[in-house]
Amino acid sequence: MQPFRRGRYRARLAETPEDIGAAQRLRWLCFVARNGAADDGLQIDADRLDDDCLHMLIELADTGQLVCCYRFLPLSGGSEIARSYSAQFYNLSALESFDGPMVEMGRFCIHPEFRDPDIIRTAWAAMTRHVDETGIEMLFGCSSFVGTEPEDHAEAFAMLKERHLAPRRWWPRVKAPKVFRFARALRLRKPDPKRAMAAMPPLLRSYLAMGGWVSDHAVVDPALRTMHVFTGVEIRAIPPARRKLLRAVSG
C-alpha cells in the first residue's frame, strides 16, 4: 500500500526497524503504562508475531508524530489460522475450513493524548485499501475491554450476546484457562442499546458496524488487565452502505 494523507494524518506501512520500534513504544504506552499492567522496564510491547506482521502507522502529516498503529498478519486461509495471535486464546478449529484469504488485525492503539475521531477513520481507510488491494475475505482479531471485572462491561456483553454472536459455522470455542461466558451468564439480561454501545471499545464498534460478530465468551488477560472477545468480519457480508462509506474515506 502506498502512503496516503487524509486531513491532518498520513497512513503508511512501517519500513524500517525504527518504524516498528516506534509502534512498539506506542503499544507499551497504551497497553502497559496506561492500563497499569506489569512492566519489565523496557518500555516496549513486542512479541514473536511482530516479525511476521505488517505494521500500519498513522502519523501527524506535518510532524511525523505517531498517533495510532496496528499490525496485521496475512493468512492464505483458515488452514493457517493456528499461526494467529488469537489462536493462543480461542479454539478456532471451526474457522480452519474458511477457504479465502484472511488477515488478523491486532495491537490497535491510539495515543492517549489524541481524541480526534479522524484518527480511527484514517486507520480504517488504510485497512480498507489493504483489503481491496489484496483480496482479503475475512478480517479478525481480539477486541479488548479495559479492566477484568465482568460487571464493568456487562451492558456491552449483554448487547453482544443479544445481537452479535458468531455464526455457528465459525463458532470460536473456549481454550483459555480464565474466561467469562457472557452469553450464558447474561442470557436473561436485556441490554440498553445506547448505554451498551457507549461502553464498547471504539475498534469493536467499528467491527460491529460492518456486520462483525464475536465469540460467546471473553478471555481474561490479567497481565494486561483486559478482557477480550474474538471478533470476525466477513468482507462480503459488510452492508452495502457501510462498504460504500469505507471506500469513500479510503479513496
Q: Where are the domains of the chain?
A: 73-250
Task: Output the pLDDT for position 106.
Answer: 94
pTM exceeds 0.85, yes or no = yes
Crossing angle of helices 117-134 and 240-250, in 10° steps, is 100
Q: Is 188 exposed, middle or buried (0-12, 13-18, 19+ CB in 10 A)?
A: exposed
SS3 percent helix, strand, coil of the chain, rounded to 5, is: 40, 25, 35
Nearest to 48 by CA among 13, 66, 73, 78: 73
Three-class DSSP category at 106: strand
Alpha carbon separation from 79 to 17, 60, 93 (Å, rounded): 30, 38, 9
Report the chain's mean pLDDT, rounded to a whole number: 93
Task: Output the pLDDT for position 172.
Answer: 98
pLDDT beyond 80 at 249? no
Average of pLDDT values for 218-243?
A: 91
Alpha carbon separation from 181 to 85, 160, 175, 217 (Å, rounded): 20, 12, 12, 4
CB atoms within 10 A of CB 151: 9
- In degrees, to the nearest 5, what angle opens at C-alpha 9 toward C-alphas 5 and 10? 50
Nearest to 18 by CA among 64, 72, 85, 74: 64
Which pLDDT band holds residue 38 (cuts at 50, 70, 90)?
A: low
Q: In which region does residue 2 sit, left (phi positive, over 0), alpha (psi from -120 to 50) or beta (all else)?
A: beta
Task: Output the pLDDT for position 39.
Answer: 67
pLDDT tens digits, residue range 126-141?
999 999 899 999 999 9
Least confident of 58-67, 96-105, 200-209, 234-243: 234-243
Which pLDDT band holds residue 203 (cuts at 50, 70, 90)?
A: confident
pLDDT beyond 90 at 245? no
